[in-house]
Amino acid sequence: MLRGITLVKWSRSGGQAHLIKISALWAGVVWAVMTTVFICAALALWVLMTNGMVYHFSSIITASILLGAIIGGIVSGNNAGGLGLLHGTVVGLLYFVAIFSFLIAWNGGMPPLSTAIVHLLMVLIPAALGGVIGINLPIRGKNRSHTRLNYTAHR
């Protein structure tokens, strides 16, 4: 069923050196947050351009959070090149902390624990899935070949 899909790819044959790549995590979190911010900005523009009395955007914002988690996991797994499940899960956790702290500030208090757990799982699972998708993409973020120019003067 899962033949040909890589869940975990070890990058070193003698063990792991640098298990988590911080730059891959940072790229994933930035993409996740910016995806959600972009969709929320588009919704705000929609509100400004139309003259409706009531808007029901909760499902669209929930979908943008899920989309941000998946995209963040994909970018993180792709940039890491291995351990996509781990990188996607950590990106999902960091993304959850960012969104949940915003919701606490917006609502003025903590929601019930059951709501927090549901939100955590709602972000962790798509981000981890995105990390698995990211390491299986054919183009790697940090593994692209770069040409170096030699600037040494020949005497």
Residues 29-47, mean pLDDT to the nearest whole number: 92
Asked if residue 1 is part of any domain, the answer here is no
For the chain, give the mean pLDDT: 81
Residue 3 tokens, joined: 């033949």
> What pLDDT sits at residue 20?
79
Residues 41-57, mean pLDDT to the nearest whole number: 85
Q: Which residues make Cβ contacts (< 8 Å) with residue 32, sequence separation at least 6?
A: 68, 69, 71, 72, 73, 75, 91, 95, 127
Q: Which residues make Cβ contacts (< 8 Å) with residue 25, sequence separation at least 6?
A: 76, 87, 90, 91, 94
Taken in order 133, 135, 136, 139, the sign of the CA dihedral is: positive
Asked if residue 6 is part of any domain, the answer here is no
Asked if residue 2 is part of any domain, the answer here is no
Domain limits at 102?
23-47+58-135
Asked if residue 39 is part of any domain, the answer here is yes
Number of domains in the chain: 1
> What pLDDT sits at residue 146?
47
Asked if residue 35 is part of any domain, the answer here is yes
Asked if residue 43 is part of any domain, the answer here is yes
Asked if residue 9 is part of any domain, the answer here is no
The pTM (predicted TM-score) of the whole model is: 0.75
DSSP assignment string, 60-75? HHHHHHHHHHHHHHHH
Asked if residue 117 is part of any domain, the answer here is yes
